[in-house]
Amino acid sequence: MSATLPPAPSGPSHTEGPEAVTTTPGTTAAVGTSLWKDAFRRLRRNPAAISGAVIVGVFLLVALLAPWLAPFGGEELPGRTEIRPTTIPGPGDVEGYPLGLDRFGGDLLSKLIWGARASLVIGVVSTALGLVGGMVLGLLAGGFGGWVDSVIMRFVDILLSVPNLLLAVSIAAIMGQSQWAVMIAIGASQVPIFARLLRSSMLSQKGADYVLAAQTLGLSRRTITMSHLLPNSTGPLIVQGTLTLATAVIDAAALSFLGLGGGVPQTAEWGRMLTYAQAELAIAPQLAFLPGLCIAVTALGFTLLGESLRESLDPKSRTA
């Protein structure tokens, strides 16, 4: 950035954006409470955090218990014989299928439940990939500085100049259509965010007294980077990781919606279900609305949790 901003009024970095969060490990508000304990205490009193946690909890339970909760398997087509080209049984129309059927004859309720599992797997795996990739790049850039930093950051800038979805799509094009392609694609599109975040967080720690102390003690750069800088720079990453789970769920649905997920057409995946709901929007809108609602609510849960976590970790909001 080559525009210098005056100190006030502040840019978005003071109120919004991933780079807003910096933990200052040196300052403790109340004697004897660690930053995380203090943050957790404040989280429990925040209604937004509680609602987020409840949504995420329900989502996790449904995803983990899918085989026991769902009446049918995700790709099973128990109601194949009930489907006519012009009529698709809606909620309550046929006994045994509480939410009705889809155009293939799959049970909508079962598919929604199995879809939660698909979203959980994609969300967690892709965020983990993005986090690991971003951490490696961020560590190298922030740890070494100098030309390593310049090269890595230019590379990250290039990745950032391509819109997320396009980046994901180009990766998926190489890998063919599969769930793995979707996960790697989303993970890769998140690498730049994590890399920048860890780097900036580490740079802001570099001038801290405890780093100077470690340097004076003659500790090696590797030790300082790995055991001092890194642990103190993870706060923003954890917050961003939670928020990224929300975008990963949405992006995964978007890529599947575009048809990059691979597998059979009746795969129980929320984005995929929306693809095949397009043609029947007029006669069976529930086929589009229910999976869409599931995506939105899940994303809302992770967003609420992430935003509350960010607020409670913000040293500015700490009370003595």
Report the nearest approach of other proteins to the CB of residue 148 (Å).
16
Q: Which residues 6+ apart lie within 8 Å of 292 measured at CB?
A: 270, 274
User: Environment class of residue 156 by beta-carbon count within 10 Å: exposed (0-12), middle (13-18) or buried (19+)?
Assistant: buried
Q: How far apart are CA 254 and CA 108, in angstroms?
A: 20
Q: Which stretch binds other proteins (CB under 8 A): 11-19, 94-102, 121-129, 218-226?
A: 11-19
Extract the tokens encoding 147.
């030309």
Query: What's the DSSP call for residue 227?
Result: I
> Which of 67, 163 has the CB closer to other proteins?
163
| Residue 101 DSSP SS3 | strand
CB of 218 to other proteins, least distance (A): 38
Quick check: 252 and 130 in contact, CB under 8 A?
no
Instruction: Examine residue 170 and tell whether it contacts other proteins (CB under 8 A).
Output: yes
Residue pair 70/114 in contact (Cβ under 8 Å)? The answer is: yes
Number of residues interacting with other proteins: please give it, by CB under 8 A.
56
120 to 159: interface string for other proteins, x by CB under 8 A: ----------------------------------xx-xx-
Give the footprint of other proteins on residues 208-267 (CB under 8 A). 246, 250, 253-254, 257-260
Binding mask 270-309 for other proteins (x = CB under 8 A): ----x--xx--xx--x--xx--xx-xxx-xx--xx-----
DSSP 6: P
Angle between helices 179-206 and 108-144 (to 10 degrees): 40
Contact set with other proteins (CB under 8 A): 1-6, 8-12, 14-16, 154-155, 157-158, 161-166, 169-170, 172-176, 246, 250, 253-254, 257-260, 274, 277-278, 281-282, 285, 288-289, 292-293, 295-297, 299-300, 303-304
